[in-house]
Structures are given as structure tokens and as C-alpha cells.
């Protein structure tokens, strides 16, 4: 069950996978740029960044940078796709509902990211991803092990 969660078999047609790849790269680059901006201005932002759930400005900023900078790299490559989307989804939900109080137009961008990330979470990374290559490798190894056990 966990294996099928990590490596979903549906949505693997070439056309759909190419569309998913374009979405992954487009939104991954945009999200990466947000994280890069936060990293570049870390000293100024760490003083004024909103504190969420009592973590303090410094820790909240560190979590935001992890979600936006690091997780976006995993999103673009399709490595550990669904696992890395979870912090991104939570981060955008917190940004929209807590930091921006679900108000428009202030929280509009975080809502757009949230919706795209949730859709990508359910669709999966597609065939043009590292997860797909890992799935093929694991299936070959499992097939070889099963064949050895039968003989």
C-alpha cells in the first residue's frame, strides 16, 4: 500500500506526464525563487517574519525556506514527490489561512500554490520523474527475487 502511494501507476501516459512535468517545473521554479529570496534576505527577515504556532520568527522562517527552497527541488525532479509535497501543502495552508487570514488579494498567491500542490499530490509525479525510474528499478529487482524463489 505504501509502495503504491509513493509510486502511483495511474496518470502515466506520455501526454499527461509531460503536462505534469511542465507544472512541476513551472511551479517548482517559482517556489524556489521565493525560497531563494528569503535565504538572500535572511538576516532582515528573521527579525520581522511572522511567528506561526509559537515557533518564533527565526524558526518559522527556517521552515519556510526549507519548504520553498529545498522541497521545490524535489518537486521539480520528482524525487520523493508526495512526501516532499506535504510540507509545501502545509506551508501554503498556514500562509493562506493563518498569515493572510484567508483574505484576498493578500493571500491569493498562497492559495494558488496550495491548490496546485494538492492537485499534484493526488495526481503523482508522472513518468518523467526520478520516482518513476526508482519504481522501474524496484519492480525489476522484485521480479528477479520472485523468480529466484520460484526455482
Whether 88 and 72 have beta carbons less than 8 Å apart is answered as yes
User: What string of pLDDT tens digits covers the 151 residues of the chain?
Assistant: 676 666 666 666 788 899 999 999 999 999 999 999 999 999 999 888 988 888 889 999 999 999 999 999 999 999 999 999 999 999 999 999 998 888 889 999 999 999 999 999 999 999 899 999 998 898 888 777 777 777 6
Number of H helices and number of E strands within the chain? 8, 0
User: What is the per-residue pLDDT for 12?
Assistant: 64
Q: What is the pTM of this model?
A: 0.84
Least Cα distance to 85 among 28, 35, 9 occurs for: 28
Least Cα distance to 113 among 99, 96, 94, 92 occurs for: 92
User: What is the per-residue pLDDT for 22?
Assistant: 96
User: What is the per-residue pLDDT for 8?
Assistant: 63
User: What is the per-residue pLDDT for 81?
Assistant: 95
Whether 50 and 60 have beta carbons less than 8 Å apart is answered as yes
Amino acid at each position: 500500500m505504501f509502495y503504491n502511494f509513493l509510486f502511483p501507476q495511474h496518470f502515466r501516459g506520455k501526454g499527461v506526464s509531460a503536462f505534469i512535468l511542465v507544472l512541476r517545473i513551472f511551479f517548482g521554479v517559482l517556489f524556489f525563487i521565493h525560497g531563494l529570496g528569503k535565504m538572500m534576505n535572511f538576516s532582515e527577515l528573521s527579525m520581522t517574519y511572522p511567528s506561526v504556532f509559537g515557533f518564533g520568527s527565526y524558526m518559522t522562517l527556517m521552515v519556510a525556506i526549507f519548504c520553498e527552497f529545498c522541497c521545490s527541488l524535489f518537486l521539480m525532479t520528482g524525487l520523493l514527490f508526495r512526501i516532499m509535497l506535504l510540507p509545501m501543502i502545509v506551508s501554503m495552508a498556514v500562509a493562506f489561512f493563518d498569515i493572510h487570514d484567508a483574505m484576498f488579494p493578500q493571500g491569493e498567491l498562497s492559495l494558488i500554490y496550495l491548490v496546485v500542490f494538492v492537485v499534484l499530490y493526488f495526481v503523482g509525479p508522472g513518468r518523467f520523474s526520478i520516482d518513476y525510474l526508482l519504481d522501474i528499478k524496484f519492480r525489476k529487482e522484485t521480479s528477479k527475487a520472485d523468480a529466484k524463489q520460484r526455482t
